[in-house]
Structure 1
Amino acid sequence: MNTAIEDDSTLTDRYQTTVPASVRRALKLKRRDRIHYTVRPNGEVVLSRASDEPSQDPVMASFLAFLERDLQAHPENIRPVAAGTFAEAERLTSGIEVDLDEALPEDDDDA
């Protein structure tokens, strides 16, 4: 890519945006492709196609490793989830509707 491509996009109330067509073409992005962001110390943001290898969250990886060790060391603690547990979850969440386009509350803006 020899020429610089510049384009703009707008953030929605939920901090989402559409990647401009010019950038999608330059990065050869298709639907469901992943994007990688690098924020440099000077505030510059580099957007690139993410590698096919999923990145690992170190906290989640540590937790899952702990869980695996614990389950192997104490298999007697493994129990099936009872049907009553599912029924209780359904009861607790019945009537709750989620609008994925709803604006986030003010206290979540810093996330």
Structure 2
Amino acid sequence: MNTVIEDDSTLTDRYQTTVPASVRRVLKLKRRDRIHYMIRPNGEVVLTRARDETSQDPVMASFLAFLERDLQEHPENIRPITASTFAEAERLTAGIEVDLDEELPEDDDDTSTTSA
């Protein structure tokens, strides 16, 4: 978004405020959504939509924590992707189309359709 949007709100006697409609639209906020505040050293406050912790996949979170630990404990294992490695990945995935917005089926772990 290249357009700067500015808006104001007023604090109540109880230090509460209404998030302006323009901000709600940009952040796609709905009732009961949480807001995250980041206060920078210069006093600037950045307001964003808070991540929904309940929607995080616990298996993915554990895997990412494992990767983080492993990278910190064994940085010598980090190697750059070379042109030949990239070319091999392109060769292996040639012709495969993926729709990242496609819903996964409820039984995506069904073993009856696995191939040998």
Q: TM-score range by the shorter chain?
A: 0.3 to 0.5
Structure 1 length as normaliser, TM-score? Answer: 0.47
Larger Rg: 2
